[in-house]
């Protein structure tokens, strides 16, 4: 079984376990310590022009992956959001959706909703199909009392990965909570 299939099955099992246990159903949003491939925008480069030097990190660049994984652990294991922001910015690839999304998440966890919003929007500008950003930004919307916007984010997630993906289930569970219950996660 491939690594991605194993991760998907694990994420699905966790999601189902959380859904089966109402006491534990506050929104789960851990994402992945593996960044997704940068969005290409669906356009291919003209053949007659010189290729620009690619400034973005390749998904398999060992230094980038090591730094990304370290920042991910700083966020989700140590809950050191300020430290993670520094680590993510040091990667010098905050134009990548995964990196910008985690910076936004970290600012949100620190209570800086304005900067968090800026980074979520930057992530979606880099990749409008980045499901985790739609999820995290939807949770941000709930925390801000913008349930209609969160519902829009849920609809976008459903269009991108269906209603069975963990990001959809997480945001749907958060929307099912009564308003005013405090931070989602």
Higher pLDDT, 37 or 113: 113
Please state, in angstroms and rounded to a whole number, the distance separating the CA atoms of residues 83 and 74.
7
Instruction: Report percent pLDDT > 70 for the chain.
Output: 65
Across all residues in the chain, what is the average pLDDT?
Answer: 78
- Structural fold of domain 59-128: 1.25.40
Give the H or E element holding residue 174.
helix 166-176
CB 88 within 8 A of CB 71: yes
Q: Tell me, yes or no, if the pTM score tops 0.75.
A: no
Q: Tokens 């991108």, residue?
A: 160
97-109 and 62-76 helices, crossing angle to 10°: 20
Please state, in angstroms and rounded to a whole number, the distance separating the CA atoms of residues 111 and 105.
10
Please state, in angstroms and rounded to a whole number, the distance separating the CA atoms of residues 37 and 58.
8
Higher pLDDT, 112 or 55: 112
For residue 136, the number of C-alpha atoms closer than 13 Å in the C-beta half-sphere is 31
pLDDT tens digits along 41-96: 433 333 333 333 444 445 678 999 999 999 999 999 999 999 999 999 999 998 99
CB 64 within 8 A of CB 91: yes
Which ranges of 41-112 does DSSP label H, i.e. alpha helix?
62-76, 81-90, 97-109
Please state, in angstroms and rounded to a whole number, the distance separating the CA atoms of residues 71 and 22.
31
């Amino acid at each position: 079984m491939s690594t991605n299939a194993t991760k998907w099955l694990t994420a699905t099992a966790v999601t189902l376990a959380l859904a089966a246990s109402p006491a534990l159903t506050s929104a789960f949003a851990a994402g992945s310590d593996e960044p997704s491939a940068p969005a290409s925008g669906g356009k291919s480069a003209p053949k007659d022009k010189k290729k620009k030097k690619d400034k973005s990190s390749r998904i398999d660049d060992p230094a980038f992956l090591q730094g990304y994984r370290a920042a991910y652990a700083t966020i989700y294991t140590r809950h050191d959001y300020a430290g993670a922001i520094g680590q993510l910015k040091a990667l010098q690839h905050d134009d990548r959706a995964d990196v910008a999304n985690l910076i936004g998440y970290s600012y949100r966890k620190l209570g800086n909703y304005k900067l968090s919003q800026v980074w979520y929007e930057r992530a979606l500008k880099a990749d409008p199909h980045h499901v985790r950003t739609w999820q995290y930004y939807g949770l941000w919307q709930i925390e801000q009392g913008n349930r209609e916007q969160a519902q829009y984010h849920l609809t976008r997630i459903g269009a991108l990965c269906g209603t069975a993906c963990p990001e959809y289930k997480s945001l749907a569970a958060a929307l099912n909570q009564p308003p005013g219950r405090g931070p989602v996660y």
